[in-house]
Amino acid sequence: MGNYNVEEAVKNQEQSAQFTGKEAMEKAKANIAERKLAEETRRVESRLSTAERTENDALKALRLARAKEAANKEYLNAVSAARTSFEASGDCDAYDEATSKAAEARDKAISEAKRKIYGDDAWRY
């Protein structure tokens, strides 16, 4: 039988196990770092998405507020004209009709603006 060097085999195994242990620790560290990076990336992407939605919602709200302001200005002008006409003529039926039409026009303008701005979600606003 051949000479089998037990001491050399033990030394080789110890070095191999030590190297494998170091390699495994390095891989584990790399995996942990990779997972942390992926988690941080998801968190940043989520925050960016939230920021974009918030900005978009604010812009839509501003557009709606401007549309409401314009509709209410027209309503105010129509009501003021109806009041002036009523004071001059004393016809309360004409005043009621004019204010009713102005209110309907205002409500319709606001409703159309909501549909234009929010689309299918207009019923929420």
> Quick one: tokens of 61?
């709200």
Q: Is 96 among the domain residues?
A: yes
What is the residue-wise DSSP string for 9-71?
HHHHHHHHHHHHHHHHHHHHHHHHHHHHHHHHHHHHHHHHHHHHHHHHHHHHHHHHHHHHHHH
Q: Is 89 among the domain residues?
A: yes
Total domains in the chain come to 1
Q: Which domain holds residue 24?
A: 6-124
Q: Is 82 among the domain residues?
A: yes
Instruction: Give pLDDT tens digits for 33-80.
Output: 999 999 999 999 999 999 999 999 999 999 999 999 999 999 999 999
Provide the whole-model pTM.
0.65
Residue 1 has pLDDT above 60, yes or no: no
Distance CA 109, CA 37 (A): 50
Q: Is 1 among the domain residues?
A: no
Distance CA 106, CA 74 (A): 7
Closest listed residue to residue 60, CA positions, set 119, 112, 117: 117
Q: Is 66 among the domain residues?
A: yes
* Per-residue confidence band for 18, with pLDDT thresholds at 50, 70 and 90: low
Q: Is 21 among the domain residues?
A: yes
